Structure 1
């Protein structure tokens, strides 16, 4: 398992397996756009926490001022995916949330990690406009 967390402003790099996405990846296969939140860091953090609390089979395992990590478990085999959120306040009206979602085991995830993060993006946008 990659060393998780933020190191010098960077989340862990994805391995060469196609079971990881990251907004800080340097290659197209693993890259996903970061989440953008129209507000302050603490508001973005609260919004992500709310999304995670409302999602099934999720356990938040690390919380820091600008970082949050959760474990998502698959329904059938209980495989664990590590999901990370790194919050960077660009201005009082914009927070960039760098994201990383990676399977702990296996080779391909059949796009599950990418789909998960796009679902989080959709819920976050709905949350920020309500």
Structure 2
């Protein structure tokens, strides 16, 4: 667990927003304004309840994943890397009015994530569609 790092204290929803990405390239967010961190939100056509249930099932089906916090409009999960046990913090915020789920995926430690956070969200998106 050397590479797990400490759980950030800035997670969650604040004024309808997830935390901003740090300057390091190891974070993506659908609410980010800059191209290096920007990623599209998930779009749903089902009910919000079905969307969050579906998302939770996808997250639970992925390896080395643990859901930490869950509410009707928010999911927070930790994803652990296979090799060294690096932990990424991944958040999902359901926007009922826009039929979107905002996403934020960030590594706790290091600088580069070799695109892992972006790939993870795209994998979840592919399963979610």
- Asked if Structure 1 and Structure 2 have the same fold, meaning a TM-score greater than 0.5 normalized by the shorter chain, the answer is yes
Bigger share in strand: 1
Secondary structure of the 2:49 match is helix
Partner of 1:63: 70
Partner of 2:92: 85
Question: For the residues of structure 1 that align with 2:17 and 2:96, how far apart are their CA atoms?
Answer: 15
- Offset of 1:2 from its aligned partner? 5.5
- Offset of 1:89 from its aligned partner? 1.3
Partner of 1:106: 110
- TM-score, normalised with respect to structure 2: 0.92
1:16-72 CA distance string (max 9 Å, x none)? 000000000010000000000111110110011100111110000001110000000
Partner of 2:32: 25
Runs of 4+ in 1 over 3 A off after TM superposition: none
Question: For the residues of structure 2 that align with 1:27 and 1:2, how far apart are their CA atoms?
Answer: 23
**Root-mean-square deviation over aligned CA pairs:** 1.0
Question: For the residues of structure 1 that align with 2:18 and 2:58, how far apart are their CA atoms?
Answer: 21
Question: For the residues of structure 2 that align with 1:13 and 1:48, how far apart are their CA atoms?
Answer: 22
User: Any gaps of 5 or more consecutive residues in structure 2?
Assistant: 1-7
Contact in 2 for aligned 1:2/1:12 (Cα 8 Å): no
User: Any gaps of 5 or more consecutive residues in structure 1?
Assistant: 126-130
Question: For the residues of structure 1 that align with 2:118 and 2:91, how far apart are their CA atoms?
Answer: 13
Partner of 1:97: 101
Question: For the residues of structure 2 that align with 1:112 and 1:37, how far apart are their CA atoms?
Answer: 24
